[in-house]
Structure 1
Amino acid sequence: MSKKVVEVKTLKVGKYVILGGEASKITSLTTSSPGKHGAAKARLEAVGIFDNQKRSIVKPVDTKVDIPIIDKRVGQVLAIMGSEVQVMDMESYETFELPMPDDLKDQISEGIELEYIVALGKMKIMRTK
């Protein structure tokens, strides 16, 4: 599991964070000003990359959170097997199967190149080239 630790105040909308053990993309981030005896708080809402679950947390801005190391790679489609796509990585030439995303069904065909991401040991097709 490749991840690193940062403070909540350094996060931005559109970046990634690990919430509930899942890599998630931040959709909104609001901070409240500190009170008389308290610290400033941040409310963070994010959507999971792999499961599309909405997650939110409220933490002090100086709290440390994990962020995933997202590896973007290029692969070539070797075969389409129903709802699965057999992909060969263009750098290491290893082959593996990934689920076909519903929004890219009409764009994916054998022989084309596509971009996929690897995060926390999971893989997902992002777009075609």
Structure 2
Amino acid sequence: MSKKPVDAGSLKVGSYIVIDEAPCRIVEMEKSKPGKHGSAKARIVAIGLFDGVKRSIVVPVDQKVDQPVVEKKTAQTIAITPTSV
């Protein structure tokens, strides 16, 4: 799986992220404001593309996270036979 690093603060709902070595689609994202001595945090909730498991992480908004390169293509089914998979 090919990945590219992006800032956690630049992600949006509907984009993709790698959590626990599994590609996920972001369904919920909240950003907190920076405090007196701390940096702003992003709480990301995502659902796995392959297994459907809900995963969440909390990271600083300036931290680099992995984003999978997802290629979407359209195809046409020519024939479905009972002996093929």
- TM-score (norm. length: structure 1): 0.60
- Could you tell me which amino acid in structure 2 is paired with residue 63 of structure 1? Q
For residue 24 of structure 1, report the CA deviation from its aligned partner: 0.5
Match of 2:20 in 1: 20
Matched, 1:4 2:7: no
For residue 3 of structure 1, report the CA deviation from its aligned partner: 1.3
Match of 1:59 in 2: 59
Question: Matched residue of 1:76: which SS?
Answer: coil
How far apart in 2 are the matches of 1:44 and 1:28?
A: 6
What pairs with 1:34-113 in structure 2 (closer than 5 Å)? 34-77=34-77, 78-81=79-82
Q: Hey, which of these two has a bigger chunk of strand by percent?
A: 1
Question: Matched residue of 2:42: which SS?
Answer: strand
Call closer, same or farther: CA 1:79–1:59 in 2, change over 3 Å. Answer: same
Question: Matched residue of 2:9: which SS?
Answer: helix
What pairs with 1:106-121 in structure 2 (closer than 5 Å)? none
Structure 1 or 2, whichever has the larger Rg, is 1
- Could you tell me which amino acid in structure 1 is paired with residue 70 of structure 2? I
- Could you tell me which amino acid in structure 1 is paired with residue 80 of structure 2? A
- Could you tell me which amino acid in structure 2 is paired with residue 69 of structure 1? V
Match of 1:93 in 2: none
- Quick one: higher RCO (CA 8 Å, sep 6+), 1 or 2? 2
How far apart in 1 are the matches of 2:64 and 2:82?
A: 43
Match of 1:120 in 2: none
Percent identical among aligned pairs is: 46
Question: Matched residue of 1:62: which SS?
Answer: coil
- Could you tell me which amino acid in structure 1 is paired with residue 66 of structure 2? D
